[in-house]
Structure 1
Amino acid sequence: MDEITHRRVLKIALPIVLSNATVPLIGAVDTGVVGQMGQAAPIGAVGVGAVILAAIYWIFGFLRMGTSGLVAQSHGAKDPAETGAILMRALLIGLAAGVVFVLTHPLLFAAAFALAPASGEVEGLADLYLSIRVWGAPATIALYAVTGWLIAVERTRAVLVLQLWINGVNVALDLWFVLGLGWGIEGVAAASLIAEWSGLGLGLWLCRGAFAGGQWCDWARVFDRVRVRRMMQVNGDIMLRSILLQGAFTGFIFLSAGQGDVTLAANQVLLQFLEITAYGLDGFAFAAESLVGQAVGARSAPGVRRASVVTSQWGVAGALALGLFFWSAGPAIIDLMTTEPGVRTEARAYLAWAAAAPVIGIASWMFDGIFIGATRSREMRNSAAISVLVYAVAVVALWGFGNHGLWAALMVMNVTRAVTLGAVYGRVERAAA
């Protein structure tokens, strides 16, 4: 395989960082445009609807990770036929999942409103918004497969182009439909729907290399029982791993509520620092997915080690930079996020945890990228299970320390993830060899 250099890592990582920076734009524009209507209910409806969709779509994040690892390996093995077949399998899974979502959405949305009730007016508008947006589900879920394929073959500039296109179309149509045509909340939903389907069209064009030579319609290969079983096993393990970790973070929020409203609000503010961390460091983990996967496919154990070391060096550098930034600029960021004096004071009291989080967590995030690239999904699943169990024990043991104990337990979970994955890292190199 080609030499793994620092320049190559940055070429993969930086477009992802820029792409991630555009992610919050859609929600901000939707909210801002609806806000011009001069009513509170539509703003709340868009917010509730977007959160419900994000929670449901989040479940399908496994499709991006599983596709990325499998495609990287076939790409490293110089097997374009399998590279195209994997994309087709992932697209079929995504489209099928989207159709099931469309068919079952009344039940899903009713359950969501039961869990998070709002006023009758907000729920009515949110239901209207969701009834339009839901038709974009097949495109949105299939886009996970497209993104995973592009990352695996190191075409992260295309990922940036794709994200900019979806955001740009959404913003332009938001302004036209809502402010120009006066369509209100239906206009916001329609803009997002068109952006999603046009994004899938552009994504498929960007992946056109996967469809060259007709391998995408080699149905005997696409539906090969062994390969399909392997893909389902990888995706299933990653999905379980993600559900476990999401459950731990959700538990952190619920447990924060037991510390009082001010502490809950302060933790919510500080969790935005962790979101910024994810956006900022994802690029290096994605680079590890691509380069480690290609090294595994090429049967190069030295390549696996080189990819793991070089991407992790940049990940650690990024984590240190973010930690220092949060420590120095954290008070100013907190003041931008809230004007309530009590919440500001409380958030400052726990700022050190948010500043330490990138440094403490970087090893676990980089190992995630390495193991995704190597498709060692079983180890990822087991690591998550052990880490969440340790987290629960830590919460109980540290409960007497209040909110400091909660944050410490969260850090313990990330350290446990790093230790458990690091302990079995040798399997990745041995498998490649």
Structure 2
Amino acid sequence: MVRFRTSRHDREILRLAVPAFGALVAEPLFLLSDSAIVGHLGTAQLGGLGVAGQALNTLVYLCVFLAYGTTAGVARQIGAGDRRAAVRQGIDGMWLAVAIGAVLIAAGWPLIPPIVDAFGASAAVAPFAETYLRISLFGIPSMLVVLAGTGVLRGLQDTRTPLAVSIGGFTLNLLLNAVFVLVLGWGIAGSAWGTVLAQTGSAAVYVAVVLRAARREGAPVRPDWAGLRTSATAGFGLLLRTAALRIVLIVGTSIAARMGDAEIAAYQVGFQVWTLLAFALDAIAIAGQAITGRYLGAADVSGTRAVTRRMVGWGVACGVVFGLAVLAVRPWLPDLFTSDGDVRHLLLVSLVLVAVLQPVAGVVFVLDGILIGAGDGAYLAVTTLVATVVFLPAALLLYGADAGIVGLWAAIGLWMATRMVTLGLRARGDRWMVTGAVR
């Protein structure tokens, strides 16, 4: 095997990570632009959008395996030199997305009222949340096709097209929402329809790009049942991993809310800062998915090991830089969000802990992406569940001991440290480096 020079690894990582970061940041702008427009309708409408948005975000978060699993599988075939099989596997992932979307529409329609009630919507907010969710259900297949299509292109080592589609989708969503809500006066239903149409347009672009690749490579586009089963099986471990992550996020918010208004306000702002930095680190992880899958598909174990070390180095370096940046802006950042003295004090404390955890997050996110690229979903599922089991009693004990928001962030730090240890032990070994076109 030929060892690439470190500079080439750097160029490869940046070529994939920088556009991926742009696409990741563009995605949350969908709901943010909706909020800016719907906010002009009234508090109840904005609250309805918030409830519906949380439900939809949970769904998309759980189905992110459609992107991650497809990236890994397609990248392996690319590494093995079989572009036709790579496109074929990507098409299977997109058919799986359509099938899951259809099931979710049928299953979700009668469950909308209890879902809204589960999120604690008031009598004034609930009707608007239900309206938005009923319309948005029709956009779920498109949302999932976008996830799978993104995975296909990342596996093909293309992160620029997903960036362009994300920007185009956000722009179309903003325009349609403005017209439907502010000009035509359709209310929150107009916002939902605008988002559904924007999502459908984005999905259509991905379908067109993948169909063009299928024609070029001579790959069939009809559903393949064996391929669908393979895609579903590969995604099961990632689904469990994602569900465990979601549990931590939900429990963390619930504990902060029970501490008091100032605590939940400070926690939410601190967590939004954490999330923003996570997007940047996740961009390296996405590059790790695509690069690792390709190297292992090419049976280049030494290259896989070398690029893994380099990406972990990038993760640590970025984590240190992000941590120092948070500390640098910390004295002034709270003023952007609150004038409440208690919230400001708690946020200042939270930001120190957010900063300290960034190097750990850099290692965790990058290794997570590398192992996803290797198709090591079963190990990720088990170890993420282990980390969640560590987090839950720690968070509850510290809450019971009145450790406050510091205790909550300490529990999150323990969760991240557990993930770092388990992922690091796996990466040091060789069992995850299964070579060839299929894991």
TM-score, length-normalised on structure 2? 0.92
Contact 2:384 2:419 in 1 (8 A): yes
Among 49, 59, 64, the alignment partner of 1:61 is 64
The secondary structure found in structure 2 opposite 1:431 is: coil
The secondary structure found in structure 1 opposite 2:186 is: coil
The secondary structure found in structure 2 opposite 1:120 is: coil
Match of 2:28 in 1: 24
Cα distance change, pair 194–228 in 1 and its aligned pair in 2 (3 A): closer
Amino acid at match of 1:409: A
Cα distance change, pair 33–264 in 1 and its aligned pair in 2 (3 A): closer
Contact 1:301 1:429 in 2 (8 A): no
Cα distance change, pair 386–180 in 1 and its aligned pair in 2 (3 A): same
Task: Determine whether 1:50 maps to 2:53.
Answer: yes
Task: Determine whether 1:415 maps to 2:427.
Answer: no
Match of 1:234 in 2: 234
Q: CA deviation at 1:30?
A: 1.3
Distance in 2 between the 1:203 and 1:300 partners? 30
Q: How do residues 189-200 of structure 1 correspond to structure 2 at under 5 angstroms?
A: 189-200=192-203
Distance in 1 between the 2:404 and 2:185 partners? 50
Distance in 2 between the 1:161 and 1:430 partners? 33
Distance in 2 between the 1:201 and 1:430 partners? 35
Number of aligned residue pairs:
428
Match of 2:307 in 1: 307
Q: CA deviation at 1:355?
A: 1.0
Q: CA deviation at 1:189?
A: 1.2
Contact 2:38 2:46 in 1 (8 A): yes
The gaps in structure 1 that reach 5 residues or longer are none
The secondary structure found in structure 2 opposite 1:111 is: helix
Distance in 1 between the 2:3 and 2:94 partners? 29
% identical aligned pairs:
27
Task: Determine whether 1:142 maps to 2:154.
Answer: no
- Between Structure 1 and Structure 2, the one with more helix by share is 1
Contact 1:166 1:195 in 2 (8 A): yes
Among 189, 197, 213, the alignment partner of 1:209 is 213
Distance in 1 between the 2:385 and 2:190 partners? 43
Q: CA deviation at 1:430?
A: 4.6
Cα distance change, pair 177–349 in 1 and its aligned pair in 2 (3 A): same
Distance in 1 between the 2:44 and 2:393 partners? 42
Match of 2:259 in 1: 259
Q: Tell me the alpha carbon deviations over residues 76-121 of structure 1, each in whole angstroms, 9 at most, x when there is no partner.
A: 1111222122112111111111111111223332221221232333
Distance in 2 between the 1:431 and 1:92 partners? 26
Q: Which moved more, 1:63-72 or 1:4-13?
A: 4-13
Task: Determine whether 1:77 maps to 2:107.
Answer: no
Q: CA deviation at 1:397?
A: 5.7
Q: CA deviation at 1:246?
A: 1.3
Task: Determine whether 1:175 maps to 2:208.
Answer: no
Cα distance change, pair 152–129 in 1 and its aligned pair in 2 (3 A): same
Q: Which moved more, 1:343-352 or 1:118-127?
A: 118-127
Distance in 1 between the 2:189 and 2:364 partners? 42
Q: How do residues 298-337 of structure 1 correspond to structure 2 at under 5 angstroms?
A: 298-337=298-337
Contact 1:361 1:411 in 2 (8 A): no
Match of 1:118 in 2: 121
Task: Determine whether 1:281 maps to 2:284.
Answer: no
Amino acid at match of 2:104: F
Contact 1:85 1:218 in 2 (8 A): no
Q: CA deviation at 1:67?
A: 0.7
The gaps in structure 2 that reach 5 residues or longer are none
TM-score, length-normalised on structure 1? 0.93
Distance in 2 between the 1:279 and 1:105 partners? 29
Match of 1:404 in 2: 406
Distance in 2 between the 1:6 and 1:274 partners? 25
Distance in 2 between the 1:5 and 1:380 partners? 25
Cα distance change, pair 214–130 in 1 and its aligned pair in 2 (3 A): same
Q: CA RMSD in A?
A: 2.0
Contact 1:274 1:357 in 2 (8 A): no
Q: CA deviation at 1:396?
A: 5.4
Q: Tell me the alpha carbon deviations over residues 345-391 of structure 1, each in whole angstroms, 9 at most, x when there is no partner.
A: 11112321111121122111111111011001111111112211222
Distance in 1 between the 2:316 and 2:63 partners? 28
